Structure 1
């Protein structure tokens, strides 16, 4: 068995416009200058609490910003211009992998459980993932707790577990948990930063990711890199 754990934002879902707009609205509501797009995207993957510590600095009004964001985000979800589509091929990949008897799928994300349920409702994914770990359930990435809890739920060992994500936090979390780490190059983080954070393999397309996960030679190479 292989346990494949996916990040969401920047890995399966292209949510960057929504995330940036939500931060702009949040900071504007408090009369604060909004962080740049680059700054917002660099914090994707963290829990909300850690996101605002990163974006507003150590002395910022973190709790107030978080409360405002929790109101702004669902309001902006309804705007067509801020739609968050799946990356092309993501749905087919997830369904193919979930249908294989020798694979289990999991989620490890900075989203809330409510956000994950919304995604699963939209795409009919509720039965495809054996474990869902969110910012509601564990310390923020890169702490290894999400992966450790996920492995405990399904009975997987670190050597059988692959974390697939687009952020340095995903790669660091995987390494801290003793798992394999696959970085995706289409997300919100530079490829060189993913490599420095511990990615053993970096893929540039959904098709390349599918090939890495499906071919035994690639799987052995990935395992040998741990």
Structure 2
């Protein structure tokens, strides 16, 4: 019997980290003596691997400079952690949904543009890290929407595309899920508009955790 697997994006899907992400991005650009992007532009690239995100925010720069900015961002985010200034609250209903899916026999995973360290710290802080059997990050994979993260999650969980659902708040998540052959559910509380998720091909879009529960088929 093939396992049922629900894979979640992290930022904008499980947790609302926009304040910390935007603060770290502004610091990174400030330190490079560049005009920081506006908040909507920053949120539009959340979920991409950092160098790819920087390339979208600063397309006229060379790839080496994108890598340089990505490192500045990592240092800025680490500094926020040192200052106890990182804010990554779970969205309403997510903790209960994760618990109930796990109890119902679903296997759970995460596919995120975060680093291994950042994801582990986030999930551990909320006491849910042990609920997830597969954690895939930008440290070990090409950027979304490449399907590598989701394909590896399915392999580790013993799932198939037909028994897997990818849940995320950006078109990158939907594109990745479709590229891997999985069912895709968008969430309307994150960083891309619901219309963008529908346009990307999401099989459904949930506007709150109760609606998400229904789309997944959770108890």
User: TM-score scaled by structure 1?
Assistant: 0.91
Quote the residue 1:62 is aligned against.
66
1:214 CA drift (Å): 2.8
Instruction: Please state whether the residue corresponding to 1:127 is helix, strand or coil.
Output: helix
Q: Indicate whether 1:91 and 2:128 are aligned.
A: no
**Pairwise CA distance, 1:166:** 0.1
Which range is displaced more, 60-69 or 204-213? Answer: 60-69
Deviating above 4 A after TM superposition, structure 1's stretches of 4 or more consecutive aligned residues are: 78-82
Q: Give how far 1:128 is off.
A: 0.6
Alpha-carbon distance in 2 for matches of 1:113, 1:90: 21
Match of 1:132 in 2: 135
Matches within 5 A, 1:95-134: 95-101=99-105, 103-134=106-137
Task: Please name the residue that 2:49 is paired with.
Answer: 47
Alpha-carbon distance in 2 for matches of 1:215, 1:154: 18
Q: CA offsets, 1:148-170, max 9 Å, x none?
A: 11111111110110000000000
1:58 CA displacement: 4.2
Contact kept, 8 Å, 2:185 with 2:215, in 1: the verdict is no
Choose which of 17, 20, 24 in structure 2 pairs with 1:18: 20
1:219 matched to which residue of 2? Answer: none
For structure 2, the residue ranges without an aligned partner over 5 or more in a row are none
Q: Deviations over 1:127-164 (max 9, x none)?
A: 21111110011110000111111111111110110000
The whole-number CA distance in structure 1 between the counterparts of 2:81 and 2:57 is 21
Aligned residues: 215
1:126, distance to aligned residue in structure 2 (A) = 2.5
Residues 14 and 78 of structure 1: CA distance in aligned 2, closer, same or farther (over 3 Å): farther
Gap regions ≥5 residues in structure 1: 217-226
* C-alpha contact 1:77 1:83 (8 A) present in aligned 2: no
